[in-house]
Amino acid sequence: MKGLKLSRKTRSLLAGFMGAVLFVGSMNLGASAEEGNDVKQDIPDFVYASETDLGSAGGFAVFANDYSNKNHMEGTIAARNFTLCNHAFGVTDRVYYDAVHGSYYYYFENINAESNGQFKQFEKQDMSKGNPYPVVFPDNVEIKQDDNAQTYHIVIDGTKMASEVVNHIVEISDKIYHVRDLKDSQKIDFDKAFASLKSYSNHMKSALTDVTKIVDQNGRKVIVCQEGNNVVNVSYSDLRSYKWNVEAAEKVNPDNYSLVINVTDIPATTCDLNDDGNPEFRIDGEREGGGGVFPKAEKVLFNFGDYNGKIILGGSMNAGVILAPDAYVEVKATHNGNVISNKVVNDGCEIHQCGFDQKPTEAPSQTDEPTTSA
C-alpha cells in the first residue's frame, strides 16, 4: 500500500487486542451505540491491488475467502467467510506494527460456526499498549449485554453459541461496526480483491530481474539482491532440497531491497514445506526459531501464482509473506509473514503479522558478489 514511508526505527510493537467472544443478551451494541466511534476515521478506504502493489489486502495477517483459526492469532484478519472453531481468538503484543503497509482492523463478511464454535477472548486488553483494533462484523452478528449488564456476548442470527463472556466491551473492541455502516469505498469486494491479487501475482511471474543472482556458498543457496525489488524463480524441489539465505549484494544497503520468489514446478495436489528434513530459510543470515516476531520476514514474498492445491507451511520455512490466491494454505508451525490465500487455516500455531515491504524501484544493472557467508 502506498503512503509516507517511515524509517524502520520509527516502527514499534503494538498490541491491539480484539478478542472476540460469544453470545446472547438483551441490549444490542454496535457502531451507532458506541459514542465517539467514527467509522469514517476508524476504517480506511480499501485499496485494491495493482500489477505492482498488493494494496490493502497485503496489510492483513490473513486475507482470505475462507479462514478458520484453530489457534489464537497475532495479527488482523479480513475474510469473506470466517468459521468459528473451538479455540481462542485474539491479538497479543507480538504484532509487528507497520504504519505504511499494515491494515489494523478486522473485517468479516460472514461468520459461520462449527457445532462447538467459539469466538472467545484470548487475553484481556492491556490498555497501556494502545486501543483494541476496530472490528467490522457481518450484519447478522450482534453484540449483546446480559440483563444484569455485567457481561457481553456475541449472537449470530439470534443464536447463542458456546460462550466465553467478557466483562467489558473493550475486550471485544471499543470500535465495533457492521458492514452496513461502511461507505462503499470501505467495503471489501472479495471477488474484485482476489482478481486484482491474481493480476499482481501474474505480473511478478514475468517480472524477473536478471541482476538478481542465486549462487552456491558453503553448501547453501544464496539469493543476492540488488537495490529495489528483486524477482526470481525457485522450483519447489530446490526450495525443499537446499538451505537458503537471502542477502544484499556488496555496497547495497540491506534495508533497500525486497525479494519476490516465484515458486515453480509445484506438485499438482500438495506443496509440502513442513517435512522434518526441510532446510532452513534465512534472511540476511538470520532466522527466527523460537516462535517470536521476525521483522525481516517483510523483505520476502513467496508467489505461488495460480497454483490451486494445498500448501503446508511449517518447520524452518517460517518467514516471508505468502501469496497464493487460488490455493489452500495450512500453517502447521508459527509463521512470520502475512498469508494471502483463497483458504487459510492456522492449526496449532500462530501467524505473526508482517506485510511485504516492497521497494519501489527495480534492481539496477550492476552485479556484485554477496558480502556475507552463510
Residue 128: the pLDDT is 40
Q: What's the mean per-residue pLDDT of the chain?
A: 79
Amino acid sitting at position 251 = K
Which among 116-120, 149-153, 165-169 has the top mean pLDDT? 149-153
- Give the number of domains in the chain: 2
Range of lowest pLDDT (28-37, 109-118, 291-300): 28-37
**Is the pLDDT confidence value at 99 over 80?**
no
Residue 350: the pLDDT is 84
**One domain for residues 32 and 101:** yes
**One domain for residues 283 and 189:** no
Residues of the chain above pLDDT 70, percent: 70
**Is the pLDDT confidence value at 86 over 70?**
no
**One domain for residues 149 and 259:** no
- The answer to the question of residue 3 being in a domain is no
User: Based on the number of CB atoms within 10 Å of its own CB, is 26 exposed (0-12), middle (13-18) or buried (19 or more)?
Assistant: exposed
218-239: average pLDDT = 94
Residues 186/45, Cβ–Cβ less than 8 Å: yes
Q: Cα dihedral angle (70, 71, 72, 75), rounded to 10 degrees?
A: -80
First and final C-alpha spacing in the chain:
33
pLDDT band at 34 (very low <50, low <70, confident <90, very high): very low
Residue 166: the pLDDT is 62
**One domain for residues 137 and 286:** no
Residues 21/152, Cβ–Cβ less than 8 Å: yes
pLDDT band at 300 (very low <50, low <70, confident <90, very high): very high
304-327: average pLDDT = 93
**One domain for residues 244 and 311:** yes
Residue 147: the pLDDT is 65
- The answer to the question of residue 369 being in a domain is no
**Is the pLDDT confidence value at 170 over 80?**
no
Structural domain span for residue 265: 207-352
- The answer to the question of residue 24 being in a domain is yes
**One domain for residues 40 and 152:** yes
**One domain for residues 173 and 234:** no
**One domain for residues 113 and 217:** no
Choose one of 198, 220, 245: the last residue of a domain: 198
- The answer to the question of residue 188 being in a domain is yes
345-363: average pLDDT = 84
**One domain for residues 228 and 131:** no
pTM of the model: 0.84
- The answer to the question of residue 93 being in a domain is yes
266-293: average pLDDT = 81
Higher pLDDT, 63 or 113: 63
Residue 333: the pLDDT is 85
- The answer to the question of residue 373 being in a domain is no
Return the residue matching grid coordinates 505468502: 322
- The answer to the question of residue 172 being in a domain is yes
pLDDT digits (tens, 9 = 90+) for 236-248: 999 988 899 999 9
**Is the pLDDT confidence value at 12 over 80?**
no
- The answer to the question of residue 169 being in a domain is yes
Largest CA distance in the chain: 71
**One domain for residues 235 and 178:** no
Residues 332/273, Cβ–Cβ less than 8 Å: no
**One domain for residues 160 and 18:** yes
Residue 287: the pLDDT is 86
Strands 176-178, 135-137: pairing is: parallel
**Is the pLDDT confidence value at 13 over 70?**
no
**One domain for residues 258 and 111:** no
